[in-house]
């Protein structure tokens, strides 16, 4: 039943909606029953660093990454400027925790354009457009960074559902190592595994994602949170969205469990 519901959820795309409304979507796993949905969860936006989740699956499946701590690569200017946060050796766990762009680009370069597109198509990820910035042919290094690739909150949740259900046609090692490498947080008594994503829209607004899944006892959920923090917010948009979600989750789930 959950697969049929998920198919129905995805069949509603594409949508016409207000682009900057933000979204909060929580659904049960494996049933895929929507427990909470508010805001605009149907307009596609760049995935930013939430794309590191599917990219981790690609890297482990292709054998570029071996486990959560192997390989461990030094920083390099080959893939563009390096922020202070990125000036460190990194493995898969550090890469996901600190959102290291040069590490992502090293994976995609090793995949190559054809294999990269093949994975995107196989995963049915968002609009599946990895051409990159128009007229530059930079998709292999930049497609997910506010250029061509976009995805909506419902599609993000659908992708996580397929990851947890192992329906993406990658190796068991790829599933196991991606999950083992994911950043972990606590929200009350919920253990949360999720990835942030930050960036600036063409209109100059800050955009933040937090995408993943959470578990408390035998109860498991999938979540997507998309926010456009107000101007002047000191924290980066992705961590701001993550911290907002972690504060909201316990009360939201308490209300959901109390519902008739």
Residue 202 pLDDT > 80, yes or no? yes
What is the rounded average pLDDT of the residues 155-164?
98
The mean pLDDT value of the chain amounts to 92
Q: What angle do CA 22, 192, 6 make, to 5 degrees?
A: 60
* pLDDT > 70 in the chain, percent: 91
What is the DSSP track for 78-137?
GGS---GGG-S-B-HHHHHHHT-HHHHHHHHHHH-HHHHHHHHHHHT-TT-----STTT-
Q: What is the pLDDT of residue 255?
A: 86
- Range from 14-18, 184-188, 212-216 carrying the lowest mean pLDDT: 14-18
- 165 catalytically annotated: no
Q: Which of 11, 49, 181, 198 is catalytic?
A: 49
Residue 3 pLDDT > 60, yes or no? no
Residue 212 pLDDT > 60, yes or no? yes
Residue that is written with structure tokens 């933000």 in the block: 22
Quick one: residue 135, left, alpha or beta (phi over 0 = left, psi -120 to 50 = alpha)? left
pLDDT-derived band of residue 20, with 50, 70 and 90 as boundaries?
Answer: low
Tens-digit pLDDT profile for residues 122-148: 999 999 999 999 999 999 999 999 999
Tens-digit pLDDT profile for residues 41-95: 999 999 999 999 999 999 999 999 999 999 999 999 999 999 999 999 999 999 9
Residue 9 pLDDT > 60, yes or no? no
Its pTM stands at 0.92
Residue 7 pLDDT > 80, yes or no? no
What is the rounded average pLDDT of the residues 213-229?
97
Residue 157 pLDDT > 90, yes or no? yes
Q: What is the pLDDT of residue 259?
A: 56
Query: Which residues 6+ apart lie within 8 Å of 135 measured at CB?
Result: none
Pairing of strands 184-187, 34-39: unpaired
Tens-digit pLDDT profile for residues 93-129: 999 999 999 999 999 999 999 999 999 999 999 999 9
Taking the alpha carbons of 174, 175, 177, 183 in that order, is the dihedral positive or negative?
positive
* pLDDT > 90 in the chain, percent: 87
């Amino acid at each position: 039943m959950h697969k049929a519901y998920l198919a129905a959820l995805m069949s509603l795309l594409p949508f016409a909606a207000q682009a900057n409304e933000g979204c909060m979507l929580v659904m049960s796993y494996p049933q895929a029953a929507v427990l909470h949905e508010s805001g605009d969860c149907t307009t596609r936006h760049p995935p930013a660093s939430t794309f590191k989740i599917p990219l981790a699956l690609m890297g482990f499946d292709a054998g570029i990454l071996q486990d959560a701590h192997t390989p461990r690569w030094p920083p390099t200017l080959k893939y563009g400027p390096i922020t202070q946060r990125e000036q460190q050796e990194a493995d898969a766990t550090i890469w996901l925790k600190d959102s290291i762009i040069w590490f992502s680009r090293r994976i995609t370069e090793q995949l190559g354009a054809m294999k990269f597109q093949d994975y995107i198509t196989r995963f049915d990820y968002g609009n599946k457009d990895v051409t990159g910035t128009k007229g530059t042919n930079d998709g292999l290094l930049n497609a997910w960074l506010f250029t061509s690739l976009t995805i909506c909150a419902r599609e993000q949740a659908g992708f996580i559902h397929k990851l947890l259900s192992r329906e993406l046609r990658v190796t068991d090692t790829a599933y196991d190592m991606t999950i083992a490498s994911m950043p972990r947080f606590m929200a009350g008594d919920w253990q949360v595994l999720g990835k942030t994503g930050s960036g600036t829209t063409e209109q100059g607004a800050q955009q933040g994602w937090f995408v993943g899944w959470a578990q408390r006892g035998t109860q498991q959920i999938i979540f997507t949170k998309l926010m456009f923090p107000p101007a002047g917010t000191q924290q980066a948009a992705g961590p701001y969205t993550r911290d907002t979600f972690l504060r909201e989750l316990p009360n939201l789930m308490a209300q959901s469990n109390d519902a008739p």
